[in-house]
Structure 1
């Protein structure tokens, strides 16, 4: 009886409804694995359809179409065993399954037992959990195929599955029952969204699982920005006896990656590996891959960005530059351009800058309240990364709108009475012309609002919230500010020197007002601390006050005023969050009401809870 098995884990960058492209990635992975003598190949969860198929899973035809794709895959599996994820409908319910095919024979379907229902996950809407230890048969292509909670054997080695969320359910997880069945190998095919710091959590889970279940544990995740918001990092992990013995390179720009492992059941001295976790690196790699996939899958020709010279728009410009630099380094110029369907006739000594000139178009849209410093900051940054740079004044447009309103209402607008209206008309006046530029270029307009500003509504609807995709809406402003300093020093983006010297300001009031964001709101680190407790941990205003009064070292009344401002602004600005452009999920939590945190548009605004602060 053999105790050896050549195993491969294949991550794939899939797209809902791209049946040809998805099958191509799977078939190429199988071909590569077979050419290298692989005996058992495991793909991620829902690899045939893509995880982000949303309500397509509820239809009758979509799961059926997935089974038709499986029929195409089966003949590819001569002299190899593969495990691949897909939805399977039985009468009125749909199950999230792994199909196991061995030597062109379908051996069975394993059904997921636990649904992910927190944060960005909504699996109970589409899938029904399978009951532990239950099996049935499923008619497929004229044969009755085992279906449910089943295990398999290869080369005398017994193996089973935990499908993504199955592994996160403590003592209820299938791994404990697999241990009772003397399983040698456990595979975890997953569709686990990227978040900064999450890779370390997965490593801990995989190492714990291998030791707890006395089995070698294999983890394989989907790859890329599959369907718009969630990014998958394509992580592949292997652990034996509580030690991490394999980890791949994450967040690849490739269509697929095949990681091969020579497994020997008798071998106990696999070298343990260590890995590093840097949130700054994770952020730039995930966001740049997210932008790359969004650009190519939307079939757009490039990006357009209103570049103000401030932190938010500058961070997005750098992310696009990093997308080009990292994509070219990994794929090569020819493949990179081909995947984006771009043609550049002649490239100079710095190809990345030449590509940037075509991919990213920026514009500085000044008013009488814009400073020379932000103009120079924007101009220098665009030049340093090779982006096309325009600048124009929108004072005429602002004046035209203002005069029309003044004539209609019969009075002059003043900063004393009409501060908010006068600020917002400047931001909104920038939107039509930058949208026009994006339309002319068949490009995606990049929105510049961040999560902290989303919390408190410090963004002009149809102004700086206007766009096709909002790359940094999932991260807080304090992170962006420190990341820009890191990017200048560690990534060599010296064009950020002016950006990092500026104090964040909307520059919408007269210059002699010396407007700053933190004067309008509160310190960004304070917003972050309140936000974490209020949104991530779901604490009440009083609980937040009691927690932060000692931690932040602020005067009691000042802290209370910040908490009141946060909750009042949060409540009245839910409608804005409902309308923000699609954003990448990049952090451990989000304020996106369509994918993470739901809140009523109309509410009592925490008035009772905030009044209770006075008693403390």
Structure 2
């Protein structure tokens, strides 16, 4: 099958988008409509073929929405839903869909009154005049026969056409939907659902169908596919397409993860490339108070091509993507023989609920100019850009909803705390850009956070450095083991981004703890470089690390008071995913914080992000962090010794990333990881050397697994995160000796040849076993 051009409605982004230039899809804009999606420019005007005006269906305008919903925020969630309906109506849409569980948010707390309030919100949606003469699809939990389902409610002219429960639930990784919901197990079947009286009083209906069905209008047919269902091998859209469904809706709560967006889009493109059809994807946007950030990027595809797309990262609470398409293009795409034979086979038909309306209109002179042909593909954000904007948007939502007045970061002069600070500065840049473009919600939130009077203030945060100075606070907590280089790097960074900075020495606090211990026990511990044991050395390092956590919370509570302001600050952590995986940090040290924007990002990706931000954010000081040796600076510096993270760990950060992906994503234990790495590393390391690295990793992973139970809540960005909360549900007490596994590795390593290349660059040595 060849590619087909796809007509859609062009638009100009509104002035309150709040997007960085690199965030907006690179589609040239048009002045014909005001939509969040940006499309390619139209080709020279041509009147479509006469077949497009077939009485069975012509042009249809559809809308899909990204909403920044918050768990159990019924007032705010309703307001955003109604705004999206109003925008869709103004753009002429006849079908509007929103994200998954948009009334309660994607992870509803199952209080008994949650269901009551969800129905009360639905009453307001049914009564909304903007929703008349269009099909509106909203999401909420529904209890049917004492079973709770995740449902879509399909509405038309104050009538409920169908309640469609979700059939396949995500129950791994970040999602454990079976804790809350039960899947609808009755394939292509419906039942009667008795409506609550408050709904019946509005709709005049007593019962409505609930189940696996589709909605038929006078000119087309609409089928629902919900989030996880798209990812299943036997996705519902296949059977629906063969039964004549032409429009598919997918209401989703899909979180951001580095390099994930392409997978999501490819699945939807493939869904309509083979089957033909118009696919509307609506995704949640923002942070609902959890570890995840939902990255929006709602989009529309037609016959395997993306024709309209919203932003992936945005500070907007409501984004509506619209497109106008010709239904005849779907029918033309489906005329190929093999598809027709499968469709004509002995298929069990879907139950159809009828909507007495036509969604399409015949083409006229005004709409001809609105049709464009897609000529390219939108640009995906680089992983470095995803790190810059995803955690930044997450931090903004967390800050504005937490009731606090800013963030506090203990700066070490190393690349991890540098990355955290740079992400906060990225957040300030997003806020400044959104405010400059007139985003009233962002301006209002910024005024409240900075302590401005909501009624009289005219403050607009259009300077990111100035805004950073109001809400971002840092502190360098030095000791006699700290170097002047790290102190100066920390100072230069905060000067570049405009943060409020404190520089202190905490030796008096450290010495007081040392003195107390010696006074009580009569023993004086020493560092290793001064002749102390490994036990003494670790204890003395941990004293410094844990005191930094105490000081961080002290300053976070009192610095606003020192500056004559109200409120307190949220403490940000700066431990990366590889350190958590290896357990290379002190439990309850300054990695213990309120939230951590880099806790699921690898050191390798963080360095790439810093290299990118050096130019993108015009921060040349970041080069100094890239070139510095990672060090905790918890041991004395001598003439021949400077502490190094990678030396302490016995492995590089790059190796840790590989260990992490093999352990989590490829589900490898010690032996299978060793055999895998002998093929990856065999040309540079002996089998015995690889065996020692694998055993060392698993030993330290096992003995430090308990640290995951107290890991600071982190922005989820990596598929190999060891986060103990839901995502990586494993024991936190292992037999760290791995006796059977390590013996198997040793036996295998002893039997394997050395495949390292000869120093003269010759061929690999011949295998002898």
Q: What's the TM-score once normalised by structure 1's chain length? A: 0.96
Q: How does 1:483-522 map to 2 (within 5 A)?
A: 483-512=609-638, 513-521=641-649, 522=651
How far did residue 462 of structure 1 move?
1.4
Aligned to 1:535: 664
Conserved in 1, the CA contact under 8 Å of 2:433 and 2:462? no
Gaps spanning 5+ residues in structure 1: where? none
How far did residue 343 of structure 1 move?
4.5
Task: State which of 441, 445, 463 in structure 2 corresponds to 1:351.
Answer: 463
Conserved in 1, the CA contact under 8 Å of 2:660 and 2:720? no
- What CA deviation, in whole Å up to 9, does each residue of 1:506-532 have, x standing for no partner? 000111231111101111111111111
2-side partners of 1:439 and 1:403: how far apart? 28
Alignment of 1:607 onto 2:659: no
Secondary structure, in 3 states, of the residue corresponding to 2:328? Answer: coil
Q: Which moved more, 1:220-229 or 1:483-492?
A: 483-492
Question: Structure 1 pair 267/181, CA: closer, same or farther in 2 (3 Å)?
Answer: closer
Question: Whose helix fraction is larger, Structure 1's or Structure 2's?
Answer: 1
1-side partners of 2:216 and 2:59: how far apart? 12
Task: State which of 64, 74, 90 in structure 1 corresponds to 2:126.
Answer: 74
Task: State which of 107, 114, 124 in structure 1 corresponds to 2:178.
Answer: 124
Task: State which of 139, 142, 152 in structure 2 corresponds to 1:98.
Answer: 152
Secondary structure, in 3 states, of the residue corresponding to 2:122? Answer: helix
2-side partners of 1:15 and 1:154: how far apart? 33
- What CA deviation, in whole Å up to 9, does each residue of 1:62-84 have, x standing for no partner? 12321221111111122222101
Alignment of 1:165 onto 2:228: yes
Q: How does 1:96-245 map to 2 (within 5 A)?
A: 96-131=150-185, 132-140=187-195, 141-142=199-200, 143-154=206-217, 156-170=219-233, 172-245=234-307
Alignment of 1:545 onto 2:674: yes
Secondary structure, in 3 states, of the residue corresponding to 1:595? Answer: coil
Alignment length (residue pairs): 612
Q: Which moved more, 1:66-75 or 1:333-342?
A: 333-342
Task: State which of 687, 691, 697 in structure 2 corresponds to 1:560.
Answer: 691
Task: State which of 340, 355, 367 in structure 1 corresponds to 2:479.
Answer: 367
Task: State which of 559, 565, 572 in structure 2 corresponds to 1:446.
Answer: 572
Question: Structure 1 pair 433/349, CA: closer, same or farther in 2 (3 Å)?
Answer: closer
> Larger C-alpha radius of gyration, 1 or 2?
2
Conserved in 2, the CA contact under 8 Å of 1:455 and 1:531? yes
Conserved in 2, the CA contact under 8 Å of 1:197 and 1:279? yes
Q: How does 1:206-355 map to 2 (within 5 A)?
A: 206-267=268-329, 270-277=373-380, 278-332=382-436, 335-340=441-446, 341=448, 342-343=450-451, 351-355=463-467
Conserved in 2, the CA contact under 8 Å of 1:96 and 1:111? yes
2-side partners of 1:322 and 1:465: how far apart? 21
- What CA deviation, in whole Å up to 9, does each residue of 1:374-414 have, x standing for no partner? 00000000000000111101100011111111222211111
How far did residue 331 of structure 1 move?
3.9
Conserved in 2, the CA contact under 8 Å of 1:98 and 1:110? yes
Gaps spanning 5+ residues in structure 2: where? 1-55, 201-205, 331-371, 561-567, 749-769
How far did residue 349 of structure 1 move?
11
Question: Structure 1 pair 62/355, CA: closer, same or farther in 2 (3 Å)?
Answer: same
Secondary structure, in 3 states, of the residue corresponding to 2:324? Answer: strand
Secondary structure, in 3 states, of the residue corresponding to 1:266? Answer: helix
Conserved in 1, the CA contact under 8 Å of 2:151 and 2:166? yes
Q: Which moved more, 1:325-334 or 1:17-26?
A: 325-334
Alignment of 1:437 onto 2:555: yes
Question: Structure 1 pair 248/349, CA: closer, same or farther in 2 (3 Å)?
Answer: closer
Q: Once superposed, what is the RMSD of the aligned Cα atoms? A: 1.8
2-side partners of 1:557 and 1:411: how far apart? 41
Pick 1 or 2: higher relative contact order, CA cutoff 8 A, min separation 6: 2
Q: What's the TM-score once normalised by structure 2's chain length? A: 0.77
2-side partners of 1:346 and 1:428: how far apart? 42
